[in-house]
Amino acid sequence: MPFIQTASAHIRLLLGLALSWALVSTGAYADVIVDTQAGQLRGFKHDSREVYVFKGVHYGQDTSGERRFKPALPVAPWHGVRDADRFGDVCPQGGEPGRRSLERTEFLPMSENCLVLNVWTPASDSANRPVMVWLHGRGYYAGAGSEPLYDGPALAERGDVVVISINHRLNVFGHLYLAEAGGEAFADSGNVGLLDAVLALQWVRDNIQNFGGDPDNVTIFGESGGGSKVATLLGIPAAKGLFHKGIIQSGPTRTGLPAQRAAQNAQTVMQRLNVTSVQALQALPFETVLAAVTETGRTDIALSPVVDGRVLPADMFIDVSAPSARGIPVMIGANKEEHTLYAPDSDRGMSEQALLEDIRSSYGDQAEFLISQYREARPEATPWEIFIGIRSARFTQGSNLLASVHQASAPVYQYIFEFPATERLRAAHGAEIPFVFNNATSNPNARPGADKVEDAMSEAWIAFARHGNPNHAGIPEWPVYDLESRSVMVFDVNSRVEMDPRKAERQAHEQVGIR
């Protein structure tokens, strides 16, 4: 098909702008060509939104073979124009959910050449829009930025922001700590998955202005494992300055994996694979290495960021915030009924005795005390609802703990999502994601009031990305979190601010911990 330039694109090219609009007649949409430091990319107009889309943009090189378990190299330069019209490969992982594309009609290929990102932007101009970089969930074992829940055009259009999602190495490829087995060359191996995220943020710094974004106003946000990645990146000195705000959704991680335990896990993997050197481990097919830890999704040994004294010098939020986190505004929160996503429906009619036995399995002799404190905060709750509340504490009370630490060094805004997004799961783990991405009301099964919750939440996320403050006209005044008021925004049909909600539960977990 011949290349047809419009007059406006021709004028821009004649003027020699670094950023060029090259509009092509396609019948349904027009494309746009943008310069990056490595070469030119062709993006495409979204079919129903005033947004341009760039899919599968490589920010790093292939991580297979000799590059496996090592920090990735930046993408190599190329000549000509690359089409950014398909999602890139997903990083090696077990199971299928992370491989399903946004179109929902196919499973994406899986390979170690997976360091890609996706960009949704209202225009590739000089508007210097806020940039929102999404870190996907599914822990550190699976997932991809191309999953259906993370579709970015509605958020980009609504907020006039640039939305980015990324893929990065996972599980055994992203967090196998081989410093003892492989020496200095593999000293960073326990954290290369998050070093991939650092490399992606460097790409954003160096290129996003040509996509209409502001490299000096970058917010990282994520849910579950993605929220944990945000919390951990706050403690990584190499990420300092590459982002300016963080949003932690249901992922209040405060510590990394101890190096000694991580080294033992690496030995376990090598023994399972019957190899004695890292070089032999690098030579194996990725499918073989992956099968040593998982076939279904979750790994059977801990593979997550490691406190290695180098990439991650220390735990992030124990007593005080890590030095690299200080001064960075954070929004953090969780969902009221997180654990309903994991609990079997057969437990919904549980008895008081079944509740006590379950909580005793984790809290021992302190179970009765903990249950009594939850009853004080929720006097009408059934045994099942108390069970869900206590089992959700790693998210809800974990957010309280992280907020309580970080509020001493930067503004913190805490929230709780209470809208029953579905009748069965209610405000379950992950239920807030469509509301953040402004996609909830596109669901034909959206419950009454979903539009009000979507407006409140997506605008709060946009405001925080723009100004470091989530307040907007559609919600009550949302104060910063401090240890005196402990103010929390409750997102529901009628969103409201509560001071120290369910105080008895918080105080109980401060006494007995979170297990």
Q: Which residues are identified as catalytic? A: 224, 338, 429
Which residues share a beta bridge with 118?
165
Query: CA angle 496-500-501, nearest 5°?
Result: 60
Whether residue 317 contacts residue 254, with contact meaning beta carbons closer than 8 Å, is answered with: yes
Pairing mode, strands 52-58 and 31-35: unpaired
String of DSSP letters for 31-67: EEEEE-SS-EEEEEE-SSSS-EEEEEEE-B----GGG
User: What does the alpha-carbon distance between residue 174 and residue 191 come to, in Å, rounded to a whole number?
Assistant: 6
What are the b/e assignments for 255-276, b being 16+ CB within 10 Å? Answer: bbbebeebbebbeebbeebebe
Q: Which amino acid is at 87?
A: F
Supply 374's token pair: 């939850």
Query: CA angle 283-287-291, nearest 5°?
Result: 110
Which residues share a beta bridge with 53?
44, 120
| 112 closest CA partner among 164, 72, 165, 55 | 72
Which residues share a beta bridge with 45?
52
Which residues share a beta bridge with 320?
318
**Other beta carbons within 10 Å of 231:** 28
* Phi, psi of 3, deg, nearest 5: -85, 120
User: What does the alpha-carbon distance between residue 118 and residue 84 come to, in Å, rounded to a whole number?
Assistant: 9
User: What does the alpha-carbon distance between residue 218 and residue 240 come to, in Å, rounded to a whole number?
Assistant: 12
User: What does the alpha-carbon distance between residue 19 and residue 12 come to, in Å, rounded to a whole number?
Assistant: 8
* Phi, psi of 375, deg, nearest 5: -65, -35
Give the 3-state secondary structure of residue 118.
Answer: strand
Q: What is the DSSP letter of 190?
A: G
User: What does the alpha-carbon distance between residue 43 and residue 152 come to, in Å, rounded to a whole number?
Assistant: 15
Compute CA distances 298 → 59, 98, 100, 273, 304, whole Å. Answer: 26, 12, 17, 18, 12
Which residues share a beta bridge with 487?
499
Pairing mode, strands 129-135 and 213-223: parallel
Terminal Cα distance for the chain, rounded: 61
Whether residue 173 contacts residue 141, with contact meaning beta carbons closer than 8 Å, is answered with: no
